[in-house]
């Protein structure tokens, strides 16, 4: 049984991580100057990275328990507490969030000229929300952060996005909202059926009946599957990605869509294991469909960003495939691949942002032969492309390989089809690179293209380090998550075995 180990650091680390960006946002409210707003936002986001250093340094990967725990009574009448903590599943996301937010602010330095202050407020508010989602251990608290995030993301897309931003923003908002509100009802049902608690750790151990699990799982699935996004709930993603400003795309691809998969790991599986097992064939099938469909659609795209968006659908298919294989390789691979995808897709969107700022076009056909003009950029893009394909030595390889191992153990056919997706992935990415970088310069506008400047390189560097770091020494990541994923698998199996016994009791509860 998981416990919440109280924070031993002498200062509320996780709370600081939530409230430092918020404080930054509040301070920005009083700032008028755009330059000052950029620096303040950068300062606060770097402070957040600074905070994640003691978090990662002091995290004990050998135990599965929730660490750095904090618990304060919040709304007593409803038994709601402000409970936060991290385990091996969430800790890496907290670090990734801090990193990607800083990178987003750096790439927006010159790209965002309009309403800079408001932009930075939205980004910092979003960061607080994302950290909150990953550390919340109370369902109510989680839901607050989960929904609150919609506001800044909606504004980021809608205000600073591309020409079709209004449509994309509202589509993003409504899709995710509909999924979320269904989850809200399920959260309430869970609350009452467990005797009135929102405590995630307590709910993990509550034996819900099988029928109840089936319904509640479906409702949670509505929220998470939209967020992932799983086929066929993915249609908002290409629009949102294409229209969002670079910073928005990086955060969206890097963090936001991971939350769906994180939700499966944190809530759906531990709460409703027997339902998860019943739903597995369907979800595995959807995952495989997403892998192939995403890759197929990526081939057909002429828009740089849209191609990456569809590749995300395909890659997230791998993640859910791994998670619902429900064995340790699958889950660990899925988790690692979420981090990897955050890094490499974040890096890809950064690459698009860099070049878009210079040419103001996202059409692949408008490029070609730029390798000769911007060698640093071309090299950077190549590394990221290879990482996205999953070349051995890069992070992508480790994740996908582990997932395929897990899927193979579940059912060989899924692994076989999924590996087809890897081949397709290599196809569209290399073709993309070829069209953009090689050949002769076809577009006269690209004759005098500027290469990446120091700021952009500085923003890209940490991502490159992670690409090779995780690729060459994946154990660093596995060590952090291993205890938690092992525990999760055991928990799921043990609790699923119990379910039939508890089913009657819970059914009686439901029937009232």
Q: How far is the CB of 267 from other proteins (least distance, A)?
A: 18
Q: How far is the CB of 510 from other proteins (least distance, A)?
A: 9
Q: How far is the CB of 498 from other proteins (least distance, A)?
A: 24
Residue 61: name the closest of 485, 475, 486, 483 by CA: 483
Name which of 193 and 487 has its Cβ closer to other proteins. Answer: 193
Name which of 157 and 437 has its Cβ closer to other proteins. Answer: 157
Name which of 39 and 74 has its Cβ closer to other proteins. Answer: 74
Q: How far apart are CA 126 and CA 251, in angstroms?
A: 9
HSE-up of 480 (CA within 13 Å, CB side)? 25
Q: How far apart are CA 87 and CA 397, in angstroms?
A: 25
Q: Is the distance from CB of 220 to CB of 228 less than 8 angstroms?
A: no
Name which of 19 and 296 has its Cβ closer to other proteins. Answer: 19
Name which of 119 and 408 has its Cβ closer to other proteins. Answer: 119
DSSP letter at 303 equals: B
The residues that bridge with 82 in the sheet, in sequence order, are 72
Q: How far is the CB of 129 from other proteins (least distance, A)?
A: 9
Q: How far apart are CA 494 and CA 487, in angstroms?
A: 10
Name which of 39 and 82 has its Cβ closer to other proteins. Answer: 82
Q: How far is the CB of 145 from other proteins (least distance, A)?
A: 8
Query: If you count DSSP H runs as helices and E runs as strands, how many of each does the chain have, helices first?
Result: 21, 3
Name which of 156 and 316 has its Cβ closer to other proteins. Answer: 156
Q: How far is the CB of 62 from other proteins (least distance, A)?
A: 36
Q: Is the distance from CB of 362 to CB of 352 less than 8 angstroms?
A: yes
Q: How far is the CB of 12 from other proteins (least distance, A)?
A: 17
Q: How far is the CB of 40 from other proteins (least distance, A)?
A: 18
CA 418 vs CA 7, 26, 288, 334, 414: distances in Å:
41, 46, 6, 13, 6
Name which of 159 and 309 has its Cβ closer to other proteins. Answer: 159
Q: Angle 139-148/116-135 helices, nearest 10 degrees? A: 160
DSSP letter at 445 equals: G
Q: Where are the alpha helices (DSSP H) in 301-394?
A: 304-325, 328-359, 375-389
Q: How far is the CB of 144 from other proteins (least distance, A)?
A: 4
Name which of 192 and 473 has its Cβ closer to other proteins. Answer: 192
Name which of 132 and 342 has its Cβ closer to other proteins. Answer: 132
Report the SS3 class of residue 35: helix
Q: How far is the CB of 133 from other proteins (least distance, A)?
A: 12
Name which of 112 and 418 has its Cβ closer to other proteins. Answer: 112
Q: How far apart are CA 449 and CA 149, in angstroms?
A: 37
Q: How far is the CB of 165 from other proteins (least distance, A)?
A: 7
Reading the block at residue 342, the tokens are 């955050």
Residue 131: name the closest of 21, 42, 57 by CA: 21
Q: Which residues are at the interface with other proteins (CB under 8 A)? A: 74-78, 115, 140, 143-144, 147-148, 150-151, 154-155, 158-159, 165-166, 169-170, 173-174, 177-178, 181-182, 184-185, 188-189, 191-192, 512
Q: Is the distance from CB of 333 to CB of 321 less than 8 angstroms?
A: no
**What's 73-139 look like in SS3?**
EEEHHHCEEEEEEECCCCHHHHHHHHHHHHHHHHHHHHHCCCCHHHHHHHHHHHHHHHHHHHHECEH
């Amino acid at each position: 049984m998981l416990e919440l180990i109280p924070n031993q650091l002498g200062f509320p680390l996780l709370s600081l991580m939530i409230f430092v960006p918020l404080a930054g946002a509040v301070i920005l409210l009083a700032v008028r100057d755009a330059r000052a707003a950029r620096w303040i936002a950068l300062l606060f986001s770097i402070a957040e990275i600074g905070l994640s250093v003691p978090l990662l340094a002091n995290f004990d990967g050998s135990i599965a328990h929730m660490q750095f725990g904090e618990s304060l009574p919040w709304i007593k009448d409803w038994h709601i507490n402000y409970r936060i903590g991290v385990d091996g599943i969430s800790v890496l996301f907290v670090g990734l969030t801090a990193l990607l937010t800083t990178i987003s602010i750096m790439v927006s330095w010159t790209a965002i000229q309009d309403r800079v202050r408001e932009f930075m407020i939205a980004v910092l508010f979003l960061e607080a929300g994302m950290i909150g989602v990953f550390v919340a251990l109370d369902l109510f608290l989680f839901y607050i952060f989960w929904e609150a995030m919609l506001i800044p993301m909606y504004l980021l897309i809608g205000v600073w996005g591309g020409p079709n931003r209004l449509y994309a923003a509202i589509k993003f908002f409504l899709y995710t909202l509909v999924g979320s509100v269904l989850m809200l009802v399920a959260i309430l049902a869970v609350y009452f059926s467990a005797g009135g608690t929102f405590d995630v750790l307590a709910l993990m151990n509550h034996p819900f009946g099988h029928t109840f699990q089936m319904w509640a799982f479906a409702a949670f699935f509505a929220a998470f599957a939209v967020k992932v996004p799983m086929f066929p709930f993915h249609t908002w993603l290409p629009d949102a990605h294409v229209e969002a400003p670079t910073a928005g795309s990086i955060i969206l691809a890097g963090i936001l869509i991971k939350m769906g998969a994180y939700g499966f790991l944190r809530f759906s599986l531990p709460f409703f294991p027997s339902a998860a097992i019943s739903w597995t064939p369907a979800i595995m099938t959807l995952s495989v469909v997403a892998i192939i469909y995403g890759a197929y659609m990526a081939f057909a795209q002429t828009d740089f960003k849209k191609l990456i968006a569809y590749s995300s659908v395909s890659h997230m298919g791998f993640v859910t495939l791994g998670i619902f294989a429900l064995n340790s390789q699958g889950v660990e691979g899925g988790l690692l691949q979420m981090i990897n995808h955050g890094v490499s897709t974040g890096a890809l969107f950064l690459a698009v942002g860099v070049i878009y700022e210079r040419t103001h076009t996202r059409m692949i056909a408008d490029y070609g032969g730029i390798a000769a003009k911007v060698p640093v950029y071309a090299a950077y893009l190549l590394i990221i492309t290879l990482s996205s394909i999953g070349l051995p030595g890069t992070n992508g390889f480790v994740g996908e390989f582990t997932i395929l191992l897990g899927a193979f153990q579940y059912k060989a056919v899924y692994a076989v089809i999924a590996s087809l997706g890897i081949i397709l992935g290599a196809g569209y990415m290399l073709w993309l690179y070829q069209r953009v970088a090689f050949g002769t310069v076809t577009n006269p506008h690209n004759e005098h293209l500027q290469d990446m400047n120091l700021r952009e390189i500085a923003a890209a560097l940490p991502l490159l380090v992670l690409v090779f770091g995780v690729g060459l020494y994946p154990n660093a990541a596995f060590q952090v998550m291993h205890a938690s994923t092992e525990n999760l698998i055991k928990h799921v199996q043990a609790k699923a075995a119990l379910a039939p016994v508890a089913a009657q009791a819970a059914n009686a509860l439901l029937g009232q």
